[in-house]
Structure 1
Amino acid sequence: MRIDEMTLDQLLELNEAICQRTDELKEQENLQALSQLRVGLKVTFETREGPAFGIVTKINRKSVIVLAEDGTKQYKVSPELLKPLHEVK
């Protein structure tokens, strides 16, 4: 069936299914990202001002608190936006 042939009820039902699936996929992505993080881990992420570096201080269900490398700022970041920094030995 083509979308332009669907009734309003059919479109609303389709929209609900799409929103539910989108939420499920975002939750999976979030859980995967959270599994890679731990308190004390050095991370990097993008801000409006450019790349930022910091240390994970708290992990919540949907966000991570990161203390800026210089200790002047605290960021609340979505876990999927964080990239762990691996120190070179």
Structure 2
Amino acid sequence: MRIEDMSIDQLLELNRVICRRIDELQDREILQALSQLRVGQKVSFEAQEGPTMGIVTKINRKTVIVLGEDGRKQYKISPGLLRPLRDVR
């Protein structure tokens, strides 16, 4: 069936199905990114002021709280935007 031939009700149902699938895929990506993070872990990310490093202080369902390297500023970030840093010893 061509989209041009669909009724409003059919289009609305198609929209619901598409939105549900997008939500499922985004949730899967978030869970994958969250599985790579731990509280206390050093991470890097792009902030408004440029590349920034910090420490994960809290992991929420869809966001991560990171304490900036200055020890004062906190960031609430989508886990997919964080890059875990490896410990260099």
Give the TM-score normalised by structure 2.
0.92
2:87 partner letter: E
Give the number of equivalent residue pairs.
89
CA distance in 2, matches of 1:63, 1:44: 15
CA distance in 1, matches of 2:77, 2:60: 10
1:27-77 deviations in whole A, cap 9, x for unaligned? 101111110000111001112222111000111111111000111200111
2:65 partner letter: I
CA distance in 1, matches of 2:35, 2:86: 16
Which residue of structure 1 aligns with residue 44 of structure 2? 44
Which residue of structure 1 aligns with residue 55 of structure 2? 55
CA distance in 2, matches of 1:2, 1:45: 43
Which residue of structure 2 aligns with residue 12 of structure 1? 12
Query: What are the within-5 Å matches in structure 2 for residues 44-83 of structure 1?
Result: 44-83=44-83
5+ residue gaps in structure 1?
A: none
**Does structure 1 residue 30 correspond to structure 2 residue 30?**
yes
The alignment partner of 1:62 has SS state of coil
Give the TM-score normalised by structure 1.
0.92
- Equivalent pairs: percent with the same residue? 70
2:28 partner letter: Q
The alignment partner of 1:76 has SS state of strand
5+ residue gaps in structure 2?
A: none
CA distance in 2, matches of 1:43, 1:25: 24
Could you say what the CA RMSD is over the residues aligned between the two structures, in angstroms? 1.1
